[in-house]
Amino acid sequence: MPFPPCQLVTLPSGLRLVTVEMPHMESASVGYWAPMGSRHEPSRINGIAHFIEHLVFKGTQRRTSEQISREIERLGATIDAFTSEDHTCFHAKGPAERTGVMLDVIADMVGDPLFADPDISNEREVIRDEISMVRDQPSQWLDDLLSAAAWGDHPLGRPITGTESSLDAIRREDLVAFHQQAYAPELGIVAVAGNVRHEAVCDLVAHAWAGLPPRTAGSPCEGLLPVMPPLTAPAAGPKPSFGFSEDDCGQAHVGIGFRMPGRLDPGRHAVKVLNVLLGENMSSRLFQALREQEGLCYQIQSDLMAFEEAGMLQVFFATDPKHLPRVLKRLGEVLTGLREEGPTEVEVVEALGSLVGQTRIALETTGAQMSWAAETLLGYGECIPPARALTELATVSLAETREAAARILVPEGMSLAAVGPPRARKPLEDWLADFSA
């Protein structure tokens, strides 16, 4: 069955709506995207986008927090949200005939939150616990450490949750000002995928967003937050950066980041192929070398982080500190081999097969179709048909993948971060010096 097409319309308010009709499904997934995240925050109030994500669940003029949950869950539906570096998303999934209710709840939440003082105080403590929870889990804390090592003082280097001090600095007027600008209708995207009709969804969205209060012309923080701050590429240091957090845990948790171009780069498809054959699946070079052949670690993988103007190919692994020198030596051999000799033609063909197949399978669900439509519109300015993206991906050549490896897997702009016992630090520093020599 071919992929269902996206249909896009801009409502009179400026709100963009994209739908994907999937009449063979029982469910529908709906989502709202606000194109502002942690990278758009002034440093004083780092974490405010994530704070707002929490607070909109606390109640509106029409619904209490409990009513929001009950109204969704009594349908057999679910609702959730997340904040990233460059956007915030609220999404729900439930029976297709209940699409209107899900849209109405989300519109009410994101458009008319109360920001009541007691809720702000309570949720500030909840997020403080969330920050502590992340730090108690080395594999999660490592994400923040690697971002800080890679991007430094740039907003991308700050934690999405903020810090205890920045959380304390956020005032109610900051929340109101950021919300009014980040959630302006002309910036937002509503996406719906499932057993729905485009025309009917247009009516439902227009009705759900029509009853929201008008936006005020000014705010207590007028001028503090630009509507969309200009993007600036983080500068790479002359030498690899290093971050280490001592933790009396049984393993050393390590992350390595390699600078790469952003998501608009013409060579982005070749980088996806490189990532797969490097460490994304069980047949990748890193998994085979370090787990299957050497038995040196349970977890090792690579992934991609792509923003508009910059990105990072990341490698993560965890191992017993006594194995760290051997793991790093073998890891360096894999990276150097790919950089200097490149992958084989068989590896590229197999990686392409994995990418295309996994994408096709993932897009069988309403949630994936909804996210694909919204995120391509948000990231590329258009709803890219999956078939077109897969066709472009399938044209990636061996030469292009080798060029990507030679360009990205280099010490310049490289970052390394780790969480582990003190004895893990020296092997990491020694390896970083050797690899970048």
Catalytic amino acids? Answer: 53
Question: In what side-by-side order are the strands of the sheet with 88-95?
Answer: 6-10, 16-21, 189-194, 27-34, 88-95, 78-83
d(CA 242, CA 155) in angstroms, rounded, equals 18
CB 255 within 8 A of CB 303: no
**DSSP-derived secondary structure for 253-293:** EEEEEEEE--TT-TTHHHHHHHHIIIIISTTSHHIIIIIII
CB 330 within 8 A of CB 339: no
Helix and strand numbers (H, E) in the chain are 16, 11
CA torsion 298→156→306→14, rounded to 10°? Answer: 130
Q: Structure tokens of 177?
A: 């000002």
Question: 413: phi > 0 → left, psi -120 to 50 → alpha, else beta; which?
Answer: left
d(CA 428, CA 437) in angstroms, rounded, equals 14
Q: Structure tokens of 408?
A: 């990205």
Q: Which amino acid is it at 173?
A: E
Q: Which amino acid is it at 168?
A: D
Distances in whole angstroms, Cα of residue 58 to Cα of each of 51, 82, 180 = 11, 15, 17
CB 287 within 8 A of CB 301: yes
